[in-house]
Amino acid sequence: MRRSIVNDPDQLVPQALEGLVLSHPQLLELEAEHRYVRRREPAQDKVGLVSGGGSGHEPLHAGMVGRGMLDVAVAGAVFTSPTALQVLEATRAADSGRGVVQIVKNYTGDVLNFRIADEITGDDDIETEIVLVDDDLATDSPDGGPGRRGTAATLIVEKLCGAAAEQGAELSEVAEIGRRAAASARTMSLALSAGTPPADGRPQFELEDHEVELGVGIHGERAARRGEFTDADGLTDQLLDPLLEQLGLEQGQELLVVVNGLGSATQLELGLVARAAHHRLRGEGLSVGRWLVGSYVTSLDMHGVSITLMPLDPQTRQLWDAPVRTPALTW
């Protein structure tokens, strides 16, 4: 059994949110009743941005609240969607009169509760647009079903939409920027070991020493197949091979590349993956225009990594480069 730093497991999420807000008092406020975090100084006369989902993926989503990204982030319990009432109150808090874009990872509970809240906000005369993020290549299926899961591209969508809203774009334009980003980005993940829910203390799955979980989900979902454990270059190839095949990129295409730790991967390990990705992509005739390397969309303490590729154009590059100040991202 793995030990965790925790008080009452039932109070884990609210106490962690309180700690985040207390440690960033210049940026954040906590609305404890409905468990959402908002900007301390809400921007006026702009499209609002709200996102959220189950906890356990920190710093997503609350760590992305601030100037140039989200106005409000709403948190459910670990790996559990926030309720429709939470989403409703968070959406109301994000509205300054020009409508609200709701950024939603494609998980059944998240989608359902955001849509319920979306219907109710119509009665409040709050105009809303939902942007669905579904970048997980491992769940791409030609025979229907719930579709691809939303994973690390969520932070890209939050960043681009946040910049557009900060620059005064209209509701429909902000939503369209997010949808284009979600449609063009793809992510592949692998895990060397599973995450451990704090209330349970047992890993969500077990692997043999020679195995990796290739295509693992950020809720600890098992993958459709196992990969072979090898060195950092080989593991990076196992992530990039399906991404490059799916995206079919033309030589010379400029990319945004996110190398994302899933919880307990060290910065040294992520550096090795970034190095390998750089050399592989350059060898494929592609250009990495922008990088983000770190642990941003996690799965508790899962030991693993994901790579997200998204083609860049002048607009998305400008929005990515736009100033941002949040607990997790600042430039």
Would you please indicate which residues are annotated as catalytic (active-site) residues? 57, 219
- Read off the tokens for 149: 């899961």
Provide DSSP, 63-102: GGBSBTSBSEEEEEEET-PPPHHHHHHHHHHH-SSS-EEE
Q: How far is the C-alpha of 246 from the C-alpha of 217, rounded, in Å?
A: 18
Please list the residues that pair with 51 across neighbouring strands. Answer: 73, 103
For 38, the enclosing helix (H) or strand (E) is strand 36-39
Helix (H) or strand (E) holding 50: strand 48-55
Please report the DSSP string for 167-201 in residue order: TT--HHHHHHHHHHHHHH-EEEEEEEE----TTT-
The set of residues, in sequence order, having a beta carbon less than 8 Å from that of 168 and lying 6+ positions away, is 46
Please give the structure tokens belonging to residue 29.
Answer: 């406020």
DSSP 275-293: HHHHHHHHHTT-EEEEEEE
